[in-house]
Amino acid sequence: MLVSATEMLKKAKAGHYAVGQFNINNLEWTKSILLTAKELRSPVILGVSEGAGKYMGGYHAVVGMVNGLLKDLDIDVPVALHLDHGSFEGCYKCIEAGFSSIMFDGSHYPIDENVQKTTELVKAAHGKGLSIEAEVGSIGGEEDGVIGMGECADPKECKAIADLGVDFLAAGIGNIHGKYPENWKGLSFETLDAVQQLTGELPLVLHGGTGIPADMIKKAINLGVAKINVNTECQLSFAAATRKYIEEGKDQQGKGFDPRKLLAPGAEAIKATVKEKMELFGSVGKAD
């Protein structure tokens, strides 16, 4: 059964480790992540962006697929199904569809509007037993070929959003989605420290987990990060393994074109990436 992410992240913050949010795109992704979490006895959060939700057919299709896999694969570790960077309307749709957690990304609104919309969604999410993540300070990344650097959050604004009763908070600390550019200045631990001082026990979220060096990940966890989002890295390992299979001509040998064979190396590569991240984040063995 799906659970909200509140308990697993409270435990992670208190235990000085982080739970990975791995974004899903299809059945192979979801199966690989769930099986790895089960094997490593790790709690896990499945992230679904609005675009990926649409790609998979819609939020009901996603909920049906995930619940079916939990049952058929006998997944007995805590799993949350979480909307990633949700719009105001998207959050309501996921609450209705059966997600167990949502993120409202109001970071592009003026702070007063972010506060007002987050307040309403906290009530709606908690009323149905879901956890809710909010965001302050935008997270950079590539958009139409332009790479924006992450913007650091204002710790006072973080405190204002934290006080609304959100369960965990994404604060921009110079992190960006996708690959980090050569001239990236690194995470702002000064900002993270200031945010954690003002928000106390609240679990903090680090987006843009792909490509952040291990020492920075460990330092971020020490400063209160309890959830780390990874998306691009699974896509890169899936693509590399699939490319290798095709370049070696394996799709041309026997029934190598069967999707169950063609997609298998990519699915195995996702498992390896998820395992590596769970080990780095320290969530292995924390499911029980």
Task: Just list the catalytic residues.
Answer: 84
Tell me the window of 68-76, 93-101, 122-130, 208-216 that interacts with ligand 13P (CB under 6 A): 208-216
42 or 210: CB nearest ligand 13P: 210
Shortest distance (Å) from residue 207 CB to ligand 13P? 3
Q: With binding defined as CB under 6 A, does residue 23 bind ligand 13P? A: yes
| Tokens describing residue 212 | 């952040």
Tell me the window of 50-58, 190-198, 202-210, 273-281 that interacts with ligand 13P (CB under 6 A): 202-210
| Tokens describing residue 250 | 């394996």
Q: What's the Rg (C-alpha) of the chain?
A: 18
Chain-centre distance for alpha carbon 251: 32
Measuring CA to CA, how many Å separate 198 from each of 105, 111, 173? 20, 17, 15
50 or 84: CB nearest ligand 13P: 84
Residues 71-130 that bind ligand 13P (CB under 6 A): 84-85
Q: With binding defined as CB under 6 A, does residue 138 bind ligand 13P? A: no
Residues 211-230 that bind ligand 13P (CB under 6 A): 229-230
Shortest distance (Å) from residue 256 CB to ligand 13P? 30
191 or 229: CB nearest ligand 13P: 229
Shortest distance (Å) from residue 223 CB to ligand 13P? 18
Query: In the chain, what is the straight-line distance between the N-terminal and C-terminal CA atoms, in Å?
Result: 15
Cα separation of 184 and 217, whole Å? 15
Residues 220-279 that bind ligand 13P (CB under 6 A): 229-233
Shortest distance (Å) from residue 22 CB to ligand 13P? 9
Q: Cβ distance 230 to 210 under 8 Å?
A: yes
Q: With binding defined as CB under 6 A, does residue 150 bind ligand 13P? A: no
Q: With binding defined as CB under 6 A, does residue 25 bind ligand 13P? A: no
Taking phi first (over 0 means left), then psi (-120 to 50 degrees means alpha), and beta for anything else, what does residue 217 get? alpha
Give me the residues that bind ligand 13P (CB under 6 A), please.
23, 47, 84-85, 177-178, 207-210, 229-233
